[in-house]
Amino acid sequence: MLVAVAVCPHPPLLVPALAGAAAAELDDLRAACASAVRSLGDAGADTIAVVGGASTTAAYGADAAGSLAPWGADVRVGEGEAVLPLSLTIGRLLLDEEHLGASAFHAISFDADPAECAGLGRRLTERGGRTALLVMADGSARLTEKSPGYLDPRAEPYDRAIVRALARAEVPAFDVAEAAELWVQGRAALQVLDGLGEGLSAEILYDDAPYGVGYFVVRWTE
């Protein structure tokens, strides 16, 4: 039974050690992420699972480690070899900061088809007990001329549609090819939630694109 969801972005700059002098620019985003993640603990969940996009689909145990060394600072979570991709490393950092633990970490391939994504969501929530999900997902990286993927005029309305759907505790019917063209790296992770939000209330805690990438923070609760 799904009792709570937090959706957060996963830019390395969420970690102040990587942001340096620009760290204060994302203070509002960090605060929103912390609030959303705390909601998972407040929901009385028996388990918290973390889902995020990656180059390949993989599952990791509760003790899996990650490092941000490839992005400029050897900030680590967990013990042993760093195996978590960026999205799940940031997810574990957010949980650690709120003194919460995950039962498992699940990477879903950026190009996974919608049926595979939805199937993972069903498996995670049909195991019995009260389950909460932390979904790590960025919006389009083509929102401005300074975006990593440069400006695409389709990107802004595409991101608006994502946020409107999440505000209804729903997931938009993504066009997979268009999402890839618009550099929506969170598409697959968000589709893990397809059909799971029924009966939950939604709240948008953050919605902005400070570096030309769509970042939104959302919580769904009972």
**Average pLDDT estimate for 3-27:** 88
DSSP states of 117-168: HHHHHHHHHSSSS-EEEEEE----S-SSTTSTT---TTHHHHHHHHHHHHTT
**Average pLDDT estimate for 12-39:** 89
Q: Give yes or no for residue 118 having a pLDDT over 80.
A: yes
pLDDT at residue 24 in the model: 84
Structurally, the chain folds into a number of domains equal to 1
Q: Give yes or no for residue 46 having a pLDDT over 90.
A: yes
CA 60, 110, 208, 71 torsion-angle sign:
positive
pTM beyond 0.75: the answer is: yes
pLDDT at residue 19 in the model: 72
Q: How large is the angle between the packed helices 27-42 and 86-97, nearest 10 degrees?
A: 70
pLDDT at residue 113 in the model: 95
DSSP states of the chain: -EEEEEEE---GGGSHHHHGGGGGGGHHHHHHHHHHHHHHHHTT-SEEEEEEEESS-EEEETT-BEE-GGGTS--EESSSSB---HHHHHHHHHHHHTT---SEEEEEETT--HHHHHHHHHHHHSSSS-EEEEEE----S-SSTTSTT---TTHHHHHHHHHHHHTTT------HHHHHHTT-TTHHHHHTTTT--TT-EEEEEEEE-TTSS-EEEEEEE-
Q: What percent of the chain has pLDDT over 90?
A: 91
Judge residue 125's burial from the number of C-beta atoms within 10 Å of its C-beta, 0-12 exposed, 13-18 middle, 19 or more buried.
Answer: buried
Judge residue 211's burial from the number of C-beta atoms within 10 Å of its C-beta, 0-12 exposed, 13-18 middle, 19 or more buried.
Answer: middle
Q: Chain-wide mean pLDDT for the chain?
A: 95
**Average pLDDT estimate for 65-87:** 94
Nearest to 158 by CA among 129, 187, 136, 134: 187
Domain containing residue 6: 2-221
pLDDT at residue 77 in the model: 94
Q: Give yes or no for residue 55 having a pLDDT over 80.
A: yes
pLDDT at residue 9 in the model: 98
CA–CA separation, 195 vs 209, rounded Å?
27
- Over residues 155-209, the pLDDT tens digits come to 999 999 999 999 999 998 899 999 999 999 999 999 999 999 999 999 999 999 9
* CATH number of the domain within which 182 lies: 3.40.830.10
Give the pairing of strands 47-54 and 104-109: parallel
Residues in the chain: 222
